[in-house]
Amino acid sequence: MNINVQGDFEMKIKKFLSIILLVVILSFNSFCFAYEEDPDDWDYVWLDEAIQEVQQSQEISILSRYAVVYDRSSGTVLWGKNENTPVPMASTTKIMTAVVMLEQLGIDRLNEEVVVSKESANTIGSRLGLHTGDKITYNDLLYGLMLCSGNDAAVQIAISIAGSVPNFAELMNQKAISLGLTNTHFVTPHGLDRDSHYTTALELAIITDCALKNPKIAQVVSTKEYTVNINGYQKTLSNTNELLGYLNGVNGVKTGYTSKAGRCLVTSVSRDGFDIITVVLGADTRKIRTQDSIKLIEYTYKNFELVNVEQLISNEYENWRDINEKRIRVYKGKKLRPEIYIESGKYTMYPMRKSENIDITSTANVKFEAPVEKNTVVGEITVSKGTEIIDTIQIKTKEKIERKGVMYYFFEMMQLLKFAI
């Protein structure tokens, strides 16, 4: 009897331990693959729902915790929600990884092969599928980085270029500083959750704008599918960006997910020369980040338009010259009237709400006494919307005009006497 009881007890213990082990294994697998994107978890209905909501209301609300709409032509924020708050950004980190990679390598070295390290092959999360000793080109690593969000590709890029992940992260931080970013810091090239690895929605938009200025990166992130060659075997990659190919004008950029960062999506859009970047961070589900991104995009194109500020300034300058150029006088100067020029403005195009007007005004200062220095301000053109001044452009002298001296007056008198005689 005691033997049977003991046997039953041992069986129950073994069963209990087996269950615990199974839970641990499943938890580990969940941890490893929590960073995977869900390429099939997409419903076209999300698109219609989000667009319809924008069409039916004047303003929008989003569920993602952090977001921004960034105009690429002017570098201005068109819409924001906690856009300056530092937060984890998951695999959208790889946008900066691509920037540093291309800056360090240049375009000519992309076809060079590298040998995959053990550290890269053992990287968890979303993967290109590299194994220790595999041979692959930098070009295919770049596609693996940006299309299928390969963490193994990110680590291999870092090791091949900088010798180690920390060294490469330092290059990323140096680039962030050069862009004027003050709330961004990198620890890894892939974006798996780490302390002190963060950015803001706005600064991520600035990084993305920098990335898209590189034609190679712009080409890669706009690609739906690409076939890479790993150790002689071909593998077709699909872009994890759910809006690419589904929404008008979308041409990139990058998805991301970790448990701390939530669902993240950076999107670039171009419609009729109006180029924007939207960033959504901290969404609870893929549906939320998708619909929030669509709302931001459709809201922007519904309510904003680009104004050719450069042309408006040029027109005002011509009017200013017609009125004021011949009125400029330099008293006691060796030259009566200086040559003038107008400085370049900050913007060529500027985004304006369709309900707002842009105002162009000008002032002039036409009376001077010599000497007059080169680059003396003779007028200003101001660009504003309401009470907000967008830009002030100065009109200046091209040359220095010296004051007449005694001898100069003497020679003038002699010339007058000569003509009188």
Give the active site residue among 149, 160, 222, 268.
Answer: 149
Using the CB atoms, write b or e for 67-102: b if 16+ within 10 Å.
Answer: bbbbbbbbeebbbbbbbebbbbbbbbbbbbbbbbbb
The single residue of 64, 81, 94, 287 carrying the catalytic annotation is 94
Q: How many CB atoms lie within 10 A of CB 108?
A: 7
Distance between CA atoms of residues 77 and 351, nearest Å: 10
**Which of 74, 91, 117, 293 is labelled catalytic?**
91
- Looking at the chain, how many residues does it have? 421
- Please state at what angle helix 165-178 crosses helix 94-105, rounded to 10 degrees: 90
Phi/psi region, residue 332 (left: phi>0; alpha: psi -120 to 50; beta: rest), is: left
Q: Which residues contact 44 (CB under 8 A, 6 or more apart)?
A: 246
Cis geometry, peptide bond prior to residue 371 (ω within 30 degrees of 0): yes
The HSE-up count of residue 419 (CA atoms within 13 Å, CB side) is: 5
Q: Report phi then psi at 257, rounded to 5.
A: -160, 130
CA 192 to chain centre: 20
Name the H helices within 185-308.
201-212, 215-221, 286-303
Catalytic status, residue 18: no
CA distance 309 to 315: 10
Q: Is residue 314 flagged as an active site residue?
A: no
Number of other CB atoms surrounding residue 301 within 10 Å: 16
> Is-catalytic flag, 94?
yes
Contact 348, 73 (CB under 8 A): yes
- Cβ distance 372 to 333 under 8 Å? yes
* DSSP assignment of 90-132: GGGGHHHHHHHHHHHH-GGGTT-EEEPPHHHHT--SS-----T
Q: Which of 223, 394, 289 minimizes the C-alpha distance to 64?
A: 289
| Contact between 256 and 300 (Cβ < 8 Å) | no
CA distances from 217 to 149, 293, 362, 406 (A): 14, 21, 42, 67
Question: 3-class SS at 392?
Answer: strand
Catalytic positions: 91, 94, 149
